């Protein structure tokens, strides 16, 4: 049963080939057997999962037949989950048990999903390798000496290893798409505001967006359809009807206009990934698409702009973790200042501290105009580049990452090298447009992905292109050896 996709599980449950309880028990056993090799879970909620599976079976027996009713998933550990530890992979929240559900958790529970637990991640979603977690690094099931990508590395590793069929993730600068590419999955970052952020612990509020990771575009369409929609509790959530993503999957690609940005294929891109991208292009051309070169001239400024804006917002968002109201508190503080300093100093990891300091500096008097304001101007230019490009093409295609997965610890001493792994994904967050990564081949036995970008609220178009590509290829069907 662990080999089934989410769509196959839906059909199997509807046909009564197996029950939600049987499925959950099988996957809980796999988690117990294989997760010690991967460290993808922070918390396994076995009792809760059994209760939810029994409830799903009862609902089916009563005549309900929703596609996700009884489907097992797990949540990235920044989505608040009532009665369950929500740690954001940080020591400072190690003892925090959420008193409420995030909107994403609530929506998926209402659809009948069975949550098997909370997944490991980079601390406060800050990282590209899933090495900054307080609970230790996550390992890539394709090569356990390699990183799975971050910050949704736990989600990606668990799905790739067939411990669960799908998972939630979050994407601030590529944290769904990059780990999807490095573990042979499909992952989609929706348009900013498409999925509620209420109850999702914030890293950078103007960039964060929740989304699904799964093995196929069809599975992502199933999950995103349940996750998306207006939420009055989130002031940044857009009040716009949710498209029927499943209905969009089977549209032919005849006449689809694909843009290849010339800036994607310069120095820094592994030539073997370039070859994978061009092989993908040839498949899409056979399916009826046309291809042309385009320009995104301000992409060169994306990394410095992002690493001013995101840390600035992080320094503000993380100021609430002070040892006073909830979370970790240092022992025997001598006064309030000592409480703040030691609680934060002992509770946050090195990468989080680095970004808080950078962000606080960028927002400080005398530097705001020179750094933060200038970065926001660059952000506007990047957005304008995309708006102009989408007047000429329907989707933009390129590599998701410049390299395949690297060895654990290889870039730990050089944060800039790790930051550069997000070069192709960051622009979508800065502009707020949707992006998707899909499996597109292997380099030295490690999977690589191709990224698709589309205009605002065109998630259905991305899923359509990915689904048609997956009908013509089998990259997404390949599983890591031993799992």
Q: Which of 19, 24, 40, 76 is catalytic?
A: 76
- Helix, strand, coil % (nearest 5) of the chain? 45, 15, 40
* Element containing residue 431 per DSSP (H, E): helix 426-431
Q: Which of 128, 151, 315, 437 is catalytic?
A: 151
* Burial class of residue 50 in the structure, from the number of CB atoms within 10 Å of its CB (0-12 exposed, 13-18 middle, 19+ buried): middle
CB-CB contact of 240 with 230 (8 Å): yes
Give the whole-angstrom CA distance, residue 432 versus residue 22.
40
Q: Enter the tokens of residue 408.
A: 């654990």
**271-286 vs 459-472: helix crossing angle, rounded to 10:** 90
Q: Enter the tokens of residue 310.
A: 């995101």
What residue has token string 């020591």?
91
Q: Enter the tokens of residue 135.
A: 């609970």
Of the candidates 39, 104, 36, 48, the one whose C-alpha atom is nearest the C-alpha of residue 72 is 48
CB-CB contact of 123 with 88 (8 Å): yes
Q: Enter the tokens of residue 296.
A: 């995104």
What residue has token string 């069975």?
114
Residue 298 has φ and ψ, to the nearest 5°, of -95, 5
Query: N- to C-terminal Cα distance for the chain?
Result: 13
Which positions ≥6 away from 394 have C-beta within 8 Å? 256, 257, 258, 454, 461
Give the whole-angstrom CA distance, residue 300 versus residue 14.
50
What residue has token string 């995030």?
102
Q: Is 353 a catalytic residue?
A: no
* Element containing residue 452 per DSSP (H, E): strand 446-453
Q: How many CB atoms lie within 10 A of CB 266?
A: 10
Give the whole-angstrom CA distance, residue 454 versus residue 252.
17
Give the whole-angstrom CA distance, residue 468 versus residue 363.
45
Q: Enter the tokens of residue 18.
A: 């197996």
Q: Is 76 a catalytic residue?
A: yes
* Element containing residue 269 per DSSP (H, E): none
Sign of CA dihedral 371, 400, 205, 139: negative
Q: Which of 19, 90, 155, 175 is catalytic?
A: 175
Annotated catalytic sites, by residue? 76, 151, 175
């Amino acid at each position: 049963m662990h080999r089934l996709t989410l769509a196959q599980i839906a059909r199997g449950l509807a046909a009564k080939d197996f029950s939600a309880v049987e499925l959950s028990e099988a996957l809980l056993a796999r988690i117990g057997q294989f997760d010690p090799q991967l460290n993808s879970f922070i918390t396994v909620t076995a009792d809760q999962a059994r209760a939810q599976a029994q409830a799903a079976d009862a609902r089916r027996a009563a005549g309900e037949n929703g596609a996700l009713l009884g489907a097992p998933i797990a949540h990235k550990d920044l989505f608040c989950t009532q009665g369950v530890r929500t740690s954001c992979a940080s020591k400072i929240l190690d003892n925090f048990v959420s008193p409420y559900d995030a909107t994403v958790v609530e929506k998926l529970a209402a659809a009948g999903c069975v949550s098997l637990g909370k997944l490991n991640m980079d601390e406060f979603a800050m990282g590209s390798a899933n090495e900054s977690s307080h609970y230790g690094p996550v390992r890539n099931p394709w090569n356990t000496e390699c990183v799975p990508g971050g910050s949704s590395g736990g989600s990606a590793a668990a799905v790739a290893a067939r411990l669960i069929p799908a998972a939630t993730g979050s994407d601030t600068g590529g944290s769904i798409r990059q780990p999807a590419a490095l573990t042979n999955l499909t992952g989609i970052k929706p348009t900013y505001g498409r999925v509620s952020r209420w109850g999702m612990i914030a890293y950078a509020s103007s960039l964060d967006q929740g989304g699904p990771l799964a093995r196929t575009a069809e599975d992502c369409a199933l999950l995103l359809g349940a996750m998306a929609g207006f939420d009055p509790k989130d002031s940044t959530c857009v009040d716009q009807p949710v498209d029927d993503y499943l209905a969009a999957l089977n549209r032919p690609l005849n006449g689809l206009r694909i843009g290849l940005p010339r800036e994607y294929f310069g120095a820094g891109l592994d030539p073997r990934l370039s070859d994978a991208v061009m092989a993908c292009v040839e498949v899409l051309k056979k399916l009826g698409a046309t291809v042309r070169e385009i320009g995104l001239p301000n992409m060169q400024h994306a990394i410095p702009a992002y690493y001013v804006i995101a840390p600035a917002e992080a320094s503000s968002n993380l100021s609430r973790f002070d040892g006073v109201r909830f979370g970790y508190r240092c022992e025997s503080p001598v006064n309030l200042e000592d409480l703040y300093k030691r609680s934060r100093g002992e509770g946050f990891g090195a990468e989080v501290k680095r970004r808080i300091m950078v962000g606080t500096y960028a927002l400080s008097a005398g530097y705001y105009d020179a750094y933060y304001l200038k970065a926001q101007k660059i952000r506007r230019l990047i957005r304008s580049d995309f708006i102009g490009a989408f007047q000429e093409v329907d989707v933009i295609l390129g590599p998701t990452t410049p390299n395949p997965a690297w060895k654990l610890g290889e870039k730990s001493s050089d944060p800039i090298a790790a930051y550069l792994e997000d070069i192709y994904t960051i622009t979508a967050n800065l502009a707020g447009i949707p992006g998707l990564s899909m499996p597109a081949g292997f380099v030295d036995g490690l999977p690589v992905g191709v990224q698709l970008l589309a205009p605002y609220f065109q998630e259905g178009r991305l899923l359509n292109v990915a689904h048609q590509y997956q009908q013509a290829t089998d990259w997404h069907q390949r599983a890591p050896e031993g799992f």
